[in-house]
Amino acid sequence: MIKIGRNDPCWCKSGRKYKQCHAAFDEKIRHYELQGHMVPTHDMIKNEEQIAGIRRSGAVNTAVLDYVEAHIREGMTTAQIDRLVDEKTRELGGIPAPLGYDGFPKSVCTSVGNQVCHGIPSEKTVLKDGDIVNVDVSTIYGGYFGDSSRMFCIGKVKEEDARLVRVARECMEKGIAAVKPWTFLGDMADAVNSHAKANGYSVVEEIGGHGVGLEFHEDPFVGYVAPRGTEMLMVPGMIFTIEPMVNMGSAEIYVDDRDGWTVYTEDGKPSAQWEVMVLVTDEGCEILAQ
């Protein structure tokens, strides 16, 4: 961390002197760093103004997913979902973050069945009775980013698929409950992975959550298979996503080389994912988008 004089303005731009603001906070982080732990840098810790802006973006993101939930149905194409998301996001004053991101061609990701994530909406993909689908919405609002996703069960879903969707949500909720300041991302990961394994499922290792807010994807990488007491220290002001991808079978995945985006399970079995964006607080965490 950059050396700051005790009477200098604090790095968080609060306008207060460093000694009255984040000096003790930084010293506590330094204590963990000296013990060999990974710790966040200042740019991973959001200030009050940034948190307020990210909170507003998260609220728009949640509203868009609420809109999708009210309209998604059997017989709808995933391209229609894309149009719903694009239109509602813009109506609320936002911009769909995925559109054009690293060349992604649509405004939302729609992943059906054994598609793990990053599914590209298409007029050819029609939602049918029994499908499970993840709709992953990301929003730019006022220059800040929001990000969350939900699973939807279309019509009468097989019990084994409905159970996967339910347990995947429980995994996310276990992760949320494990987010506490001055503990580790590995503690959260262990809560997620233990619940998935206890139910006979696996968690994808190569793709995970991420810091978010000022950019679409920021540090740190947030995985879900690390043991307790490992990975980065969580401190108040950090914002990241919790989005474990839970597979019915093997955790192995591959990317479709035809479109360069869509991720599938290697064994062809279904996958489910829920995503929230959380802010680490002094007591635990606040959900900013869901």
85, 68 contact by CB (below 8 A): yes
> In the chain, how many H helices and how many E strands?
5, 15
Task: Please give the model's pTM, rounded to 2 decimal places.
Answer: 0.95
- The 10s digit of each residue's pLDDT in 144-162 is 999 999 999 999 999 999 9
Q: Which helix (H) or strand (E) is 160 found in, with range?
A: helix 159-177
- The 10s digit of each residue's pLDDT in 166-215 is 999 999 999 999 999 999 999 999 999 999 999 999 999 999 999 999 99
- The 10s digit of each residue's pLDDT in 28-38 is 999 999 999 99
Beta bridge partners of 112: 133
> What value does the mean pLDDT of the chain take?
97
- The 10s digit of each residue's pLDDT in 95-119 is 999 999 999 999 999 999 999 999 9
Q: Beta-carbon neighbour count of residue 273 at 10 Å?
A: 24
Query: From CA 288, how far away is CA 13, in angstroms rounded?
Result: 22
Q: How does 97-116 read in b/e, with b if 16+ C-beta sit within 10 Å?
A: bbbeeeebebbbbbbbbbbb
Query: From CA 37, how far away is CA 179, in angstroms rounded?
Result: 17
Query: From CA 54, how far away is CA 60, in angstroms rounded?
Result: 10
Give the CA radius of gyration of the chain: 20
What are the φ and ψ backbone dihedral angles of 95, each rounded to 5 degrees? -130, 130
121, 108 contact by CB (below 8 A): yes
Q: How confident is the model at residue 3 (pLDDT cuts 50, 70, 90)?
A: confident
Domains and CATH numbers, the chain: 31-289 (3.90.230.10)
Query: From CA 236, how far away is CA 51, in angstroms rounded?
Result: 11
Q: How confident is the model at residue 2 (pLDDT cuts 50, 70, 90)?
A: low
- The 10s digit of each residue's pLDDT in 10-25 is 999 999 999 999 999 9
Q: Which tokens go with 58?
A: 């998260």
Angle at 261 between CA 259 and CA 262, to 5 degrees: 95
Distances in Å between the Cα of 183 and the Cα atoms of 158, 219, 236, 283 are 38, 17, 11, 12
Cis omega before residue 220 (within 30°)?
yes
Quick one: angle between helices 48-71 and 78-91, nearest 10? 140
